[in-house]
Structure 1
Amino acid sequence: MLLLQVLSTSVSFPPFVLSFLAFVTLHSLVTAQMHIKTSCQDNTFSYTAGSRFEKNLDSLLHTTLSIYGGGSISADAKKGSYPDEVYGLFLCRGDVSEKTCQDCIDAATDKILSDCQFKKEAIIWYDECLIRYSNKSFVSTLEITPVFCVYNSLDLTESKKFLKIRRDMFDNIIDQAINNPDNHMYAKADVNITGVGNLYGMVQCTPELSPLECQNCLTSGVANFDTALCPDGKRGKRILTPSCNTRYEVYPFSENPPIQSPDSSNSTDNIGIRKTRGKTLVTAISAILPTTLVIVLIGCCICYYNRKKRIEGESIVESDRFPLIQLDLIQTATQQFSPKNKLGEGGFGPVYKGTLVDGKEIAVKRLSRNSCQGLQEFKAEVTLIAKLQHNNLVNLLGCCLEGEELLLVYDYMPNKSLDVHLFDTTSGAHLDWKTRLSIINGIARGILYLHEDSRLRIIHRDLKASNILLDSDMHPKISDFGLARIFGRNQIEDNTNRVVGTYGYMAPEYAVEGIFSVKSDVFSFGVLLLEIVSGRKNSRFYLTGYGHSLLTYAWKLWSAGQGLELMDPLLLDTYLETEVLNCIQIGLLCVQEDPADRPTMSSVIRMLGSYAMPIPQPTEPAFSLGRVVPFSQQKTIELGSSVIDGQVVTSSYVKPDDTVSPLTIGNPFLSNIFTR
């Protein structure tokens, strides 16, 4: 482009000569891929030549991703199993042609292997595409580091007018990128600036990000234009991060209009590829039909072979977005599921501690394949947790589906679950106020991610102290997604005839009518918050003769101006009075009877973080259990029990032949409990 500008201004050429030169120049720019930056992540582990990891990486880049490059703007995949799994992703710029995209992928594949030989994590940026691989799952995770600035060497005076027009242009195209899914998180624009000419801008995120995550990434990128990362006064700049990139120039750099999405979305196949751009019918028939027929025939043979080998002919996991860990590795890690390695017993099976051959400690959740509910929980948990990545959610390392075994493998949490520390007078002494407040904030951030910030909108439905795990630094991790439900982005509530969860944490509209929403989780969080402050369990809190639950007891103390009396005596002098009272007030707001009166989790986080922020005054909470439940019934029914299909299931494992009391929706007993 610069050559054409020089020739056209210094020498007089006939128009057809300039046209020919323009064609040759543009053709060379398209066919010769322009490498921008490579990041080899030097702080990561290395692999060795001939290793299983190298073979998986080579197959992922040269076969899996490369094959789908010609028909997609982006794709991600995973190859191999733990500990040699490799995750990969490619993303082409939203305006490039299929051929340019494929050529860029081919060039980037060869160069990333050359530049980052023996590195287990790397990213490479070309002008038209990026490729990334890692030994850790990164899809759907917002990452804005490492960050690089690449800039045009020619100078430009950045006047206040220029900066304002540039800012307005990026505000506009960021809005386009996050609100128009047909463009796959890509948008571009150009504006005219007097004295400068046209200014061309472009933004793009990896398509798996949520709109909010994409907006945050792009906004951060634009802000970096004017930081020490980039020099001032340049004709063009671009910011590169793993999750997004932003760019502006004073010359056009795009090819065609953004590629539109196909009329119907392509389904995910068994290697986890999601196509986001279809080929035209003519190109598909002429170019890929023979190959497709061969692949279909091979696929049919493989499916038939695998079905014969399976004990049960059903596909339990529909995505290979995380490792399938071999059974013998898990058996060795847990010493053949030795009783001494048993950490506890859940409603659907035991949990074991294990140690892998590399020394990594794991927790293995073992479900019975003969349990219909256990199978449903397994499917739900695998499907959901594989798509969720957050510091306050438990990390699923993989699963195992061999023989009769259904196993979920998680990071081991050395400090077990919150209830172990909270409701034990010995362990509770270690939970000072600073630690409890940190746990409260961490749980709130995790729920907010589920409700608003993840690419899926998730209602957990079983938030309770025993489902909050604590890592070595006492950071909370929300666990157990077997009962969770996915909501549409615009969906407000749903209802069910099958109540599942834990009494004592259930919102009244859910327990009585089967209606659940994000406000149901807010209610559970409110109960949990009051339990953390008081060190007392709601479902076991009875003041004989007074008929109080923890919630109504907290309300009476609060309304009498004696809120600090609710606080756990073990806290002694480690607390700040304003913080404790603030938490109690927020907890009471979360357990209001009308869901509309409960705050959202984003409001909860704002209230937790600012003691100067005015907080609404709560009214009496929904539960008044003690007024209607006789003491004899309190001993018969454990209100902290889990509920499945309208039946009470205690925290210990209930065998199929155990008798349980039916508590279905519309049951007069339930209506009495939840009505003041």
Structure 2
Amino acid sequence: MVVSVRIRRRFVLLLLVAFTCLSLRLCFGEDRITFSTPIKDSDSESLLCKSGIFRFGFFTPVNSTTKLRYVGIWYDKIPLQTVVWVANKDTPINDTSGVISISPDNGNLVITAGRNRLLWSTNVTVPVAPNATWVRLMDSGNLMLPDNRNNGGTLWESFKHPYDSFMPRMTLGTNGTTKENLRLTSWRSHDDPSTGNYTAGIAPFTFPELLIWKNNDISWRSGPWNGQVFIGLPNMDSLLFLDGFNLISDSQGTISMSYANDSFMYHFNLDPEGAIYQKDWSTSMKDWRIGVRFPKTDCDAYARCGQYATCQALEKPPCKCVKGFMPRNSTEWNRGNWSNGCERRTLLRCQRQNNESNGGGGGKEDGFVKMQKMKVPISAERSETKEDVCPKVCLDNCSCTAYAYDQGIGCMIWSVSLVDMQSFLGSGTDLYIRVAHSELKTHSNRAIMIAAPVIGVVLIAAVCVLLACRRFRKRPAAPVKDRSAEILFKRMEELTSGNESASNQVKLKDLPLFEFQVLATSTDNFSLRNKLGQGGFGPVYKGQLPEGQEIAVKRLSRKSGQGLEELMNEVVVISKLQHRNLVRLLGCCIEGEERLLVYEYMPKKSLDAYLFDPMKQHILDWKTRFNIMEGICRGLLYLHRDSRLKIIHRDLKASNILLDENLNPKISDFGLARVFQGNEDEANTRRVVGTYGYMSPEYAMEGFFSEKSDVFSLGVIFLEIISGRRNSSSFKEEKNLNLLAYAWKLWSDGEAASLADPVVFDKCFEKEIEKCVQIGLLCVQEFSNDRPNVSNVIWMLTTENTNLAQPKQPAFIVRRGVSEAESSDQSSQKASINDVSLTAVTGR
């Protein structure tokens, strides 16, 4: 009897344990759903794969204000919510009534809500009874509904229904038989998982290419696959395709693209703005590291320059017609609208023969213009010929416009207009574009016409030098001074007269003069690979002096009417300034028509290169950004109050803030700066120069500038540093408000901290971020008298006092006209309007 009781007690205990384990099964991370174990949102249940990397269940996107519930897969053991797949992306649940279960009707995995309302289903035919069906979350992040009939395969899997993430072992591509096309699809926004505007996948061209579409229109393309790489992606070999990247294509239109990686903490993501990022998790950084990104430059935008034109990201302007072609619409082309592209100057031979209006004709055989290191155009065709026969195949076909040869592909020819060409500095393909023979002859004659007088002048100069050497070889050597340099320095000293006593004036002639040849050698003859950037007055190159010192050399453009004035202005200003937050001028060079300025080299380049680049934003954490804001203020205070000269910069912006190896800021580019007299507080000019978006309203509209003009620019930079967004950015969620208007709206709504870049936002910094937003808004107030001076800005930044003045509505400047405008920066990084300068704008 006692034994029987003990047995019953043990049996009851086992039942209780079993029931408890069953009820808590999902809480402990069971990796599968069965007919009897649904997932309920109200109970906060979810699946966890065996490796613990991925979790499947209900979630609400981070920063979402709607609190809608979605079902998806995300990385479990990292602090940043990273969702890689969403089931009910367009049918969210607005409460916690959601249930994920095996349907008793058909055995599919389903999502229901409320009164058993069906929101989503795997929607396949399940050949077994529902109670024998189960769904499992694999270690790869793949959710699978297996066919349980003797290991019969898979009925449904999430990898066959991708969303915005391309995972290791997942396959994208097309099926020539079923016409199925597996593509990535972007979220609508970073906090809205519903279907977005962008898709990405493989296009089954003659030579497969990876494409990104925006609303079914191509927005980016990779160039053809050659068996190892996409040849339109420069220097991608080591960055991307050594990770087991593979593409298989048959002749029936079936193409599959996949990749392998040792870690599942790695994926590609198509973001809501239409860019693909390669990401892998960094345990030390506790963040996703960004590898490659495409599109990367403005030239990557599909057909940026139209037909028969090439795009070069570092050139200004970036678009150029191919030799033998001219703009189809010169007026629009000169305005910077290149979409119409270019057209032939001279018809091809067979076109002339077929043109009855020209009475037939003939002429010599067409030829080819060779373009090196190119992204080849779209719509290449295959020609089964050897490399040496490829040109003849093109010439024998009247409709052939170009050819190229790649070892992995073979001979490619084009029979259509050439669209989406890009010139690379690194790897690329040699492209041969067909032109009339007369175009080749024209260029040859032109070269001879140019070369002949040059050679003649060189020979005459050489003879003169030899005669001079023979005449003066016995005389003692004496230092030779360029007369133009002496005149220039005299003019510089005249510019500063009256600002200081003679005893305090810096002797400008003591500033080192560099020989042009030394600077040319140090920059490898101003090679493109040493080019650091391009301003309105000329390019800047990295160089290294013979003793090993690294330098930055600004070579003023000969075509710039302001180049000489800028050089004088900059030498006058910087040679008299010494401050840790101002870039240091090391010397200059004045030889003949050459005007060069030599600065200390800033290894981290400019602030905008980090602030607005998604791959580098994380380097500037909040403490670094705060230190940069304070450092800019210290440098500006020195200019306004603490130096021997009172200087108004007039072109303060993110691209003119350089960063040293420790990310300390240094103000640069003083070509537009104005030196004020000791008792002068404000000046007026009819020649408004600067950069749109940073100019204060009184300066942009009336030509008045003062310390408060620089303070306005400082405020704009503050808001850019806080938000990680350009001042010209439009916030679609807020009716396309620009940065100033958006910041003002958030401040007015009591949500100033929401302006912060999500990359740097942390709850512990919220009060400091709010204070910095407030200071930025105080600086951009419409009326200059309302703005603080720089010393007050530093006080507000560095004290704990939170009793700051309340900002008034800022000046929301809009563009009216750009005629006769001058700009100190004509670069076009990320197509920003910040590079346009105005003579007249209007506030509202």
Structure 2 length-normalised TM: 0.39
Task: Find the structure with the greater CA-based Rg.
Answer: 2
Higher relative contact order (CA 8 A, sep 6+): 1
Structure 1 length-normalised TM: 0.48
Question: Going by fraction, where is helix more abundant, 1 or 2?
Answer: 1
